[in-house]
Amino acid sequence: MQIDYAIMGGAACCLTATDPGRMTGDVDLVIQVDQRMITADRLTTELVTKYPSKFAPVNQFGHTIPGYKLALPGGGSRVVDLEVFDFQSWPQRPQYNIQTASRRTMNINGCPVKIFSPEWILREKILSQYERQGGAKEATDIQDLMRIIPLAVPGKPELNFSNDQKLESALSNLLQKRPGLALRLKEKINCAPVFGNW
């Protein structure tokens, strides 16, 4: 279908940090809506109807998403949820505009796979641990960002948190919980309002 995309979330962390102990049960990705107007919802419909041997509809919170039928050794299979997002449908999330986001392409079993950059992932994990405080995924977000910190390159646009109140609050909150991360994050992230006291 030739759709531009980037993988994010736990799958991106697994592929980027290559920690054999980190697993995920789904794949989150953002697609770029082009002149064909293939949105996340339309892609879901196309995958499920045109490729039923590879994709199945999965009901998630009253919304249908595609599930990839993963063949397992020994002849079994498992459906892996694909959570697909697009900037056009989620304009309140400018980070989903993959035309302005840093990405990289990895070779996975001979196939090129597009993933958001470590800097993008680090920023999103800092934000998501703040948004999911008290939830089961908060600890996973913090573990993920700790794995990604060494891979992030300072000076990238995604790591400029100054003048973004939500990112400043998320970073400040993280450092209240994990003050030991301050020096490592200060080396990577530009955020004078938070790091002025460190």
Domain finish residue from 116, 139, 163: 116
19 against 70, higher pLDDT: 70
Claim to verify: residue 135 and residue 112 sit in the same structural domain: no
Q: Is the pLDDT of residue 106 over 80?
A: yes
Claim to verify: residue 48 and residue 141 sit in the same structural domain: no
Domain that holds residue 29: 5-116
pLDDT, tens digit, 9 for 90 and up, residues 79-104:
999 999 999 888 888 888 998 899 99
Q: Describe the strand order of the beta sheet including 55-60 as a list of residue ranges.
A: 55-60, 63-71, 77-86, 26-31, 5-8, 111-116, 103-108
Domain finish residue from 89, 116, 143: 116
Query: Using CB atoms within 10 A of its CB, is residue 144 exposed (0-12), middle (13-18) or buried (19+)?
Result: buried
DSSP single-letter state for residue 56? E
- Indicate the SS3 state at residue 48: helix
Q: Which residue has the tokens 């939830």?
A: 135
What does the alpha-carbon distance between residue 6 and residue 183 come to, in Å, rounded to a whole number? 30
Claim to verify: residue 141 and residue 122 sit in the same structural domain: yes
Domain finish residue from 61, 82, 116: 116
Claim to verify: residue 84 and residue 97 sit in the same structural domain: yes
- pTM higher than 0.75: yes
Q: Is the pLDDT of residue 121 over 80?
A: yes
Q: Is the pLDDT of residue 184 over 70?
A: yes
pLDDT, tens digit, 9 for 90 and up, residues 45-77:
999 999 999 999 999 989 999 999 999 999 999
CATH code of the domain covering residue 78: 3.30.460
* Residue 117 token pair: 């950059």
Claim to verify: residue 14 and residue 64 sit in the same structural domain: yes
How many separate domains does the chain show? 2
Q: Is the pLDDT of residue 186 over 90?
A: yes
pLDDT value for 42: 95
pLDDT value for 21: 85
116: CB partners within 8 A, 6+ apart: 6, 7, 8, 12, 30, 101, 102, 103, 124
| Structural contact between residues 104 and 115, judged by C-beta atoms closer than 8 angstroms | yes
| Percent residues over pLDDT 90 in the chain | 85
Q: Count the alpha carbons within 13 Å of 64 in the hemisphere toward its beta carbon.
A: 12
Query: Using CB atoms within 10 A of its CB, is residue 41 exposed (0-12), middle (13-18) or buried (19+)?
Result: middle
